[in-house]
Amino acid sequence: MPLLATEAIVLHAFDYLESSRIIRLLTREAGVQSALARGARKSRGRYGTALDLFAEGSAQLYVKPNRELHNLASFEISRTRGELAEDIGRFTAASTIAELALRFAGEADNPQLYDTIADVLDRIARSAPERTIEDGLAGCWRVVSVLGFTPELSSCALCHTPLRDSDDTTFSHSSGGIVCPACSKLAPGGRRIPSAARAAIRHWLEGDDSVHLIDAEARSHQRLLREFLGAHLADDRPLRAFAVWEHERWSAA
């Protein structure tokens, strides 16, 4: 069996039979891959905390051609990101990032996506409890952008007329961004967004995570992002981690 050696982040992990664990990894070299870690539960010493959610390190996989599940040969941990488990807002935001990667990354090698996911998880791990929504939103938009779905935010997505930054505009998911007043009549289902909301998304896409939102704005941003993902990325399956991230905070409040 060929051996794949790659940097990897654990995005999903569950126990399998009595002694093993199955993990889903985002790898730098081969996108999302699943691996069986034999004996991972019997002997904690073999992997330590390396197979915990959001851990990152150097993985070696015995790749079975044309099979979904490979065998994990070794995993040498470089960071645990244990801070993500210390706050529910961090955890649900990070789980949403993991869900986007698992669902949309595919098996292609995509170092830029890998580095973005790693950086986004690091930022959320450092996030203050009252800042997790903003940092989650920032991370999701960066991931969306690396996946090739950057929304048009400067000029009309349909006729390319430049629009003023100070104007409230219509965001049309089906058109892939903001649209001018004339085109908004042709693009049903658009949503009015204030100029500040457009500026926030632009900041996030540029990696600037200094945006502050009040609760109502944060909710609107999560809704806009959910609709955008539904229009451009989602398959028929619901985004379950996103739903938890979106509703947990507001129902607990």
CB 70 within 8 A of CB 3: no
Q: Nearest approach, Cβ of 201 to Zn ion (angstroms)?
A: 19
| Cα distances (Å, whole numbers) of residue 53 to 19, 87, 118, 156, 238 | 18, 14, 13, 41, 21
Binding mask 174-193 for Zn ion (x = CB under 5 A): ------x--x----------
- Between 64 and 185, CB nearer to Zn ion: 185
Q: Nearest approach, Cβ of 253 to Zn ion (angstroms)?
A: 39
Report the C-alpha gap between 78 and 28 in whole angstroms. Answer: 14
Report the C-alpha gap between 85 and 92 in whole angstroms. Answer: 9
Q: Which two tokens stand for residue 101?
A: 């990667």
Longest dimension (CA), the chain: 65
Query: Which residue from 159, 167, 174, 215 is in contact with Zn ion, where contact means CB under 5 A?
Result: 159
Q: Nearest approach, Cβ of 182 to Zn ion (angstroms)?
A: 5
Report the C-alpha gap between 2 and 13 in whole angstroms. Answer: 23
Interface with Zn ion includes 156 (CB under 5 A)? yes
φ, ψ at 34 (rounded to 5°)? -110, 145
Q: Nearest approach, Cβ of 155 to Zn ion (angstroms)?
A: 8
- Between 146 and 158, CB nearer to Zn ion: 158
* Count of residues interacting with Zn ion (CB under 5 A): 5
Q: Nearest approach, Cβ of 186 to Zn ion (angstroms)?
A: 8
- Between 50 and 180, CB nearer to Zn ion: 180
- Between 113 and 156, CB nearer to Zn ion: 156
> Which region among 67-75, 137-145, 153-161, 202-210 touches Zn ion (by CB under 5 A)?
153-161
Binding mask 2-41 for Zn ion (x = CB under 5 A): ----------------------------------------
Handedness of CA 164, 167, 171, 172 (dihedral sign): negative
| Cα distances (Å, whole numbers) of residue 100 to 3, 37, 70, 117, 163 | 27, 24, 22, 10, 30
> Which region among 54-62, 66-74, 84-92, 157-165 touches Zn ion (by CB under 5 A)?
157-165
DSSP helix/strand/coil, 172: strand
Residues that bind Zn ion (CB under 5 A): 156, 158-159, 180, 183
